[in-house]
Structure 1
Amino acid sequence: MNDFDLTIRGGMVASDVDTFRADVGIVGDRIVAMENGLPAGRRDIDATGRYVLPGGIDTHCHVEQRSGMGRMGADDWYTASVCAAFGGTTTIVPFAAQHRGTSLAQVAADYAALAREKSVIDYSYHLILSETDPQTLNTDLPELIRSGITSFKVYMTYEQLKIDDYQMLDVLAVAARERALVMVHAENNDVIKWVSQRLLERGYTAPKFHGTSHVQLAESEATHRVIQLSRLFDVPILVVHVSAREALATIQAAQKMGAQVYGETCPHYLLLTEDDMDLPGTEGAKYCCSPPLRDADAQQALWDALKQGTLQTLSSDHAPYRYDATGKLPKGDATTFKDVANGMPGLEARLPLLFSEGVSKKRLTLPEFVALSATNHARMYGLFPRKGLLQPGADADVAIWNPLCEFTLTAATLHDNVGYTPYEGMSVTGWPETVVSAGRVIVERGELHAERGSGRFIPRKTPMPCAIERELTPSTRFFRSLSYGAHEQK
């Protein structure tokens, strides 16, 4: 009798650099052996003809979160974690959102309690920062970072959440001191506000004008501005949901100059276009997100950026607002593009879409898929080496993919609580048939085998970009020193 609780044998394993044949031996919640010819465990899975890949990590999704406009998303921690699992994702990192006038510490505690009660897979969370008062910046934020919440997000748009450049410098200074990763929603709020007001005055109210109002230069200008602000302290930032060629060019140029800027995009920017918002009545509201969908040229630029490494991660930006008065249509048929809740569901479809459009269509290699779906997320956000790769000592988070399985995406076959999918009727090739989370087989033959609240909170280490030792220039050291109180200066 051998010592393995679970073995996965006969499959093709992939890392972020290569593919190889190996059996996987699991004891408890960890991988303990990876080699050919392992004996069967107490439970044995035959993975012949399958890809054995690290469970996906989604580091940008909105779960049981109230938007700045006050609307609650349709998915709570239970439904979101279930649909993630069915899509091959075994770790999610959504957001504990601080709204104006609330305590960041209390927001984090309340959010942690919801996750602990409901999630069926492992999780962490980021913070969303909307206040920069002394309590938030000097006490709550540093303490939360030290507790394992080592990343947070700030907005340059949305009146209810945005911070200005002065506040951004305060935030970046804290990140530099505490070695935390700052995620940035980069759009110029005043450009969007100016264009939106004039569109509405002239009667241009349909959902398709959401794209017009969020003009590309609003994204590229804000991206450029926050990169320059980050250079004052030489602190890493990650620009989320990059959608446009101009913003990409800005990031590429900054990277060549040595700026510590990273980027992320999402499946909807790779597969949908602004034409999807141009539908009868309010139907186009289903496709409104920020930044908005762009055009075919932007799609190609994003695929190229993923291939070239300009963008490091692909996340869902799952924002599950229902197509009714609770979400997309607060004013019914009279809803204008400014009233529509921004965002689309996509947590379950993220990896099948990337696999089908990337690997199956030969835009990406299998190792590149692994990097974009899991490994880069783990490194970027302090989960590595516990998560993100299949190797002895790592958590036993495994997705067993049938690369030939054809599946049609429909709202009826997905597991979220939204009621529609922007990918309705789209056929994908490749599907995660069996999913293992922390050594537990939680999805098999289309059925869930995981209890509510069985997922674990994973405290995160210093994100990889923030752990890299860099020689600071004298001016950078000086400006960093200005961010300390007099008693802290050395």
Structure 2
Amino acid sequence: MSGGRPFDLAVRGGRAVLPDGEAVVDIGVRDGLIAAIGRDLGPASRDLDARDRLVLPGGVDTHCHMDQPPWDGMATADDLASGTLSALCGGTTTVVPFAMQLRGASLAAAAADYHAKAAAKAHIDYNFHLILGDPTPEALDRDLPRLVAEGCTSIKIYMTYEGLKLDDGELLRVLDAARALGVLAMVHAENDACVRWLTEKLVGAGLTAMRHHAVSRPALGDREAAFRAIALSEIVEVPILVAHVSAAGVVEEIRRAQARGVPILAETCPQYLYLSSADLDRPGLEGAKCVCTPPPRTAVDQAAVLEGLRDGTLSIFSSDHSPWLFIDKLRHGGGFHTVPNGLPGIETRLALLFSDAVRGGHLSLADFVERTSTAPARIFGLAPRKGLLAVGSDADIVLWDPERAVTITNALLHHANDHTPYEGRAVRGWPVTTIAAGEVLWHEGRVTSRPGRGRFVPAGLPVRPADRPQSWLR
């Protein structure tokens, strides 16, 4: 110990997943950072007994929607206070939500608004993706370079949704700006014309039940859009990340591109493993709880997505937490085409994957940490500060009880939503202690956090294609 000063906190005797493998160790924390990792560390002001616990780096969720501006008169159920509280109780210690610029609005003003909200509300550390809904010269040439210099080094672009979608010419201009600045573009890849045409045909025929949501947004349309986004990125010679992959065909397109050396990254989310199109057909309007975009798909797609997550084709497992109150879904729920798209999942993301994929033998514990923490931190420029247990990294540490049996209910969760689509689902393995920057914020059912304690963490630039090592995608 430096100067013989005791650690502020010591996590003792847990089985930790470290960058070079698993080991039973103590972790000493000082001034919010991991100061030492080893056996029989010296005294600390506070000890946590981690025997019979897994000790993992805090989760990093790089796809979540909180505190977004009202959409058609509605706002997301979670603001940055309740959303980040829910995250930390689920074992996540860093989030990257979206600062959304709508058509006709200022990108700089959107980012400033989110900074102000997060500074007052966030329980845990954060960065922002910049949604470019209106790529004007002012946004691309003035606002974006300044925001990148301030540490927001990722953007998101949409190929669908009124008020957000970009045509191919706009996509090329934005990707060119991303290349010039060295930032990473996330792409929501759906064929907008296909969605609009099918929705019009279905509604015209009176086919508005929730199950038709999946019909209106077919997997083939996602595959075409993903292929087009990849092709445009190849033309511009810039990496992209294909967001929320739901379909086997999209996994195949990404794998084909990666096989020929194209720097394509991708993520998937819990709803594409643990919900299916059959859930849209739940009795009454219960299927509205499972309406998200892209929609949940078939068992064949679920298997392909899981294999893509297993073999690394899909680098990141994020939540796409986008919670809408069920009462709002019902109020606007005359049919699938009027129900707000999105569902909650930030608190259940890690437990679902741990229970099903780790305990089920599909992912190793190291793979679980890689997909949910290390890879998102690395890809979005937050490592080594975030995403791993290493001396000098932030002391973001989660203790898991790998045998804890939990039945998910909405009453158990800490979001501000009135439902979870995973109501009644049994899982085994649960995060029981969350430590962020050396502070114990969640321990055995008790929250000791406070809004506004989270900090903005500036992100570094992702690796450029010309400079990337061959292992960059993995």
TM > 0.5 between the two?
yes
Query: Which of 187, 204, 215 matches 2:207?
Result: 204
Match of 1:55 in 2: 58
Alignment match, 1:216 = 219
Map of 2:387 onto structure 1: 388
Counterpart position of 1:400? 399
Q: Which residue of 2 aligns with 1:307?
A: 310
Amino acid at match of 1:428: V
Structure 2, gaps ≥5 residues long: none
Secondary structure class of the residue paired with 1:159: coil
2:322 is equivalent to residue 323 of structure 1: no
Contact 1:16 1:368 in 2 (8 A): no
Out of 90, 99, 104, the residue aligned to residue 101 of structure 1 is 104
Matched residue type, 1:331: H
1:119 to 2:122 alignment: yes
Answer yes or no: is 1:439 the counterpart of 2:438: yes
CA deviations over 1:62-117 (Å, ceiling 9, x no partner)? 00113654531000111001100100000010001001111100110011000000
3-state DSSP class of the match of 1:94? strand
Query: What is the aligned-residue RMSD (CA, Å)?
Result: 1.4
Residue ranges of structure 1 left out of the alignment (5+ in a row): 472-490
1:264, 1:422 → 2: CA distance? 20
The alignment's TM-score, normalised by the length of structure 2, stands at 0.96
Aligned to 1:81, which of 65, 80, 84?
A: 84
Deviations 1:170-197 (A, max 9, x none): 0000100100000000000000111110
Q: Does 1:37 align with 2:40?
A: yes
Q: State the SS of the aligned residue for 2:265.
A: strand
Secondary structure, aligned partner of 1:329: helix
Residue identity in the other structure for 1:392 = V
2:17 to 14, 17, 20: 14
Question: When the two structures are aligned, how many residues end up with a matched partner?
Answer: 467
Aligned to 1:419: 418
Correspondence for 1:478: none
Q: Structure 1: which amino acid aligns with 2:377? A: A
Aligned residue number for residue 409 of structure 2 = 410
SS of the equivalent of 1:386 reads coil
CA positional deviation for 1:464: 4.0
Question: 1:483 aligns to what?
Answer: none
Once residues 254 and 331 of structure 1 are traced to their aligned partners in structure 2, the CA distance between those partners, rounded to angstroms, is 40
Matched-pair contact (CA < 8 Å) for 2:19–2:389: no
Contact 2:56 2:389 in 1 (8 A): yes
Who is 1:265 aligned against? Answer: 268
CA distance in 1, matches of 2:465, 2:18: 23
Deviation of 1:7 (Å): 0.3
Residue 254 (structure 1) aligned with residue 257 (structure 2) = yes
Structure 1 residue 15: Cα displacement? 3.2
Matched residues in 2 for 1:70 and 1:95: separation?
Answer: 19
Larger deviation: 254-263 or 11-20?
Answer: 11-20
- The answer on 1:457 being equivalent to 2:460 is no
Identity of matched residues, % = 46
SS across alignment from 1:11: strand
Q: Is the 8 A contact 1:380 1:465 kept in 2?
A: no
Q: Deviations over 1:335-389 (max 9, x none)?
A: 1111011011000000011111111121111000100110001101000000000
Task: Check whether the contact 2:237–2:465 (CA below 8 A) recurs between aligned residues.
Answer: no
In 2, Cα distance between equivalents of 1:57 and 1:85? 10
Q: Could you say if the C-alpha distance between residues 464 and 45 of structure 1 is closer, same or farther in structure 2, counting changes exceeding 3 Å?
A: farther
SS, match of residue 357 in structure 1: helix
For the structure 1 residues 470 and 411, does the alpha-carbon distance in structure 2 shift closer, same or farther, using more than 3 Å as the test? Answer: closer
Change over 3 Å in CA distance of 1:312–1:16 after alignment to 2: farther
1:381, 1:244 → 2: CA distance? 24
Q: Secondary structure at the match of 1:348?
A: coil
Deviates further, 64-73 or 27-36: 64-73
Residue 298 of structure 1 pairs with residue 301 of structure 2: yes
Deviation at 1:409, TM superposition (A): 0.5
1:167 aligns with 2:166: no
